[in-house]
Structure 1
Amino acid sequence: MVSFELSQPQDAAALANVQKRTFDDDARRYQNKDEDGPPGYDSVPWQAEQMQQGHYYKLLKDDGIVGGMIIFPSSTEEECHLGRIFIDPLYQNQGFGHEALHFLFVQYPAAKRWTLDTPSWAVRNHHFYEKHGFIRIGEIYDAESSQSIWEYERTGPLAEAGR
């Protein structure tokens, strides 16, 4: 079982380290690259900036940071965008991702619509999000990276998603 707390500036380095391990592991598995991740994934200042711009939660297991998630709610909190979710590869496939989404759906009960995006090559992500009621609604081609990003949304009652 994991617990969730809002991140503090002193957590930025640990969050950057966990993100780097997580996204670099995906890059090795699915892209044959040693390193690769979304903008700011390995930057301590970027982590601190996101704490100011959104709701940045840390996932804790035995008092250590094992993951994080960044949520950008609308002013009414009727819509939320999941900007990023990541779990250290050593802690994946243990149900923590499911716990994290359930936490968010309970934490933001006014949210009638959730959105997120993920790379087209991230097959595990697609399965995970679809298992939790997200539906693919679009695709954006990023010419700079030569990759496609899939857009997802989830609407309706969310507290029991995936349960």
Structure 2
Amino acid sequence: MNKRIRLETAAKQDAKQIMELMVVVERDETAKWYENGERPYIPCYDSEDMQKYHARDGRYYKILLDEALVGVILISTTGREHARIDRFYIHPAVQGQRIGTVVLELIESLYPQVKLWTLDTPQKSPRNHHFYEKNGYTVAAEDEDERYYEKAVAEPDEQLNSGEFTREKDYSGHNFRECNLQEADFYSVNLHQASFSNVNMGSTTFQNINLSRTRITNTNLSDSIIGDSNLSGVEICHVSLAGAYLHDIHLNKGDQQQPLVIERCEMKNSKIANSDLRNLSITECQIDGMSIDGILVSDLLKAYHSKSSEE
């Protein structure tokens, strides 16, 4: 291919253009691989705000072909050793031109420290399976919906035997006290029922982690970001959310919809904007000063009751 392919870090101002690309990609994926109203699960693919969110960490890359945007790739790094390809999409008009292969080579050159690459891709896309397997990825696991791939990068023997790596050790039931684990990298580690207390975890990154039935109490999570995650069934209680910013939240995946329940929460001076509030129920709440589109709810209720009494 004589055309020039390069990567450029996506910025917030690229959000609209990337969103428009993703709409085309999603439509093409749906037409090729799905039927009976099913669609690929690409969270918020048509949201500019989601593209801005991905651009925050500087690991969301535009794929440029002769300076024209033809795709995106999102890299999640959890440490020195492991990285995950979270989003990798190329415009259908230029697929089949080895662009994807070149992009994978460019990404590996950008992250030479990474020794294990992982990703998942839908079972319904055999084209993706062939592409990743052709580029050195092997199937690590699969379920009804997804196929999970990994690619190990060869490591020099001296690095494998260095003191930087601790592998295949059983520390179950062990106590760690007054230890320095700053900038440590944990990958494929079993921490079931582990306990963390009096620990500095500022700027810690959790990605592709199962936190089901996890209990977090008496913890300072100020300035934390929880995004692109499955928090179905989570219970958040007795916490301070002063200044919290909740946005682009969805209650369902496919047809499995469950309502959000908010009880006994102090929400004075809070704002809900550009949200789907269909069938929202508000009961037994203090609504002094609460307004909808600038109209006081108390005035609306007064008008409603006045009209009802006249009838």
Q: One fold, TM greater than 0.5?
A: yes
- The letter of the residue matching 1:71 is I
Specify the alignment match of 1:74 in structure 2: 78
Q: Give TM-score, length-normalised by structure 2.
A: 0.46
SS at the partner of 1:126? Answer: helix
SS at the partner of 1:94? Answer: coil
- The letter of the residue matching 1:90 is A
Which has the larger share of strand? 1
- The letter of the residue matching 2:60 is Y
Report the aligned-residue RMSD.
Answer: 1.8
Q: Distance in 1 between matches of 2:64 and 2:111?
A: 20
Identify which of 134, 153, 163 aligns with 2:150: 153
Q: Distance in 1 between matches of 2:38 and 2:139?
A: 28
Specify the alignment match of 1:92 in structure 2: 95
Q: Where do 1:10-159 residues align within 5 Å?
A: 10-32=13-35, 33=37, 36-53=40-57, 55-76=59-80, 78-141=81-144, 148-157=145-154
1:87 deviation in Å? 0.5
- Could you say which structure has the larger radius of gyration? 2
Identify which of 3, 7, 13 aligns with 2:6: 3
1:37 deviation in Å? 4.2
Shift in alpha-carbon separation, 1:34–1:66, aligned structure 2, 3 A? farther
SS at the partner of 2:117? Answer: strand
Asked which structure has the greater RCO (Cα within 8 Å, sep 6+), the reply is 1
> Sequence identity of aligned pairs in percent?
32
Aligned length: 151
- 5+ residue gaps, structure 1: 142-147, 159-163
Moved runs in structure 1, 4+ residues, more than 6 A?
A: none
1:53 deviation in Å? 4.5
- The letter of the residue matching 1:70 is L
